[in-house]
Amino acid sequence: MLSQERISKLLEQTQEVAKEVGAFIRKERSHFNVDKVEHKGFNDLVSYVDKEAERQIVEKLSAILPEAGYITEEGTNTTQAEVYNWVIDPLDGTTNFIHGIPVFSVSIALMEKDQVILGVVYEINRHECFYAKKGGGAFCNDTPIQVSKAPDLAASLISTGFPYYNFELIDRYLNSMKSLMQKTHGLRRLGSAAVDLCYVATGRTEGFFEYNLNSYDVAAGTLIVQEAGGTVTDFIGGDDFIFGRKVVASNGRIHTEFLNVLNEFWG
H helices of 94-245, where? 94-99, 170-183, 193-201, 215-227
Per-residue pLDDT reduced to its tens digit, 121-147 = 999 999 999 999 999 999 999 999 999
pLDDT of residue 45: 54
Residue 217 labelled as part of a binding site: yes
Residue 190 labelled as part of a binding site: no
Distance CA 187, CA 170 (A): 16
Residue 92 labelled as part of a binding site: yes
Q: Domains of the chain by range and CATH? A: 4-144 (3.30.540.10), 153-266 (3.40.190.80)
The average confidence (pLDDT) of the chain is 94
Q: What SS3 class is residue 25? A: helix
Residue 89 labelled as part of a binding site: yes
pLDDT of residue 181: 96
- Range name among 61-70, 72-81, 218-227 with the lowest pLDDT average: 72-81
Mean pLDDT in residue range 232-236: 96
Distance CA 211, CA 174 (A): 13
Instruction: Please give the model's pTM, rounded to 2 decimal places.
Output: 0.95
Is 43 a residue whose pLDDT tops 50?
A: no
Residue 35 labelled as part of a binding site: no
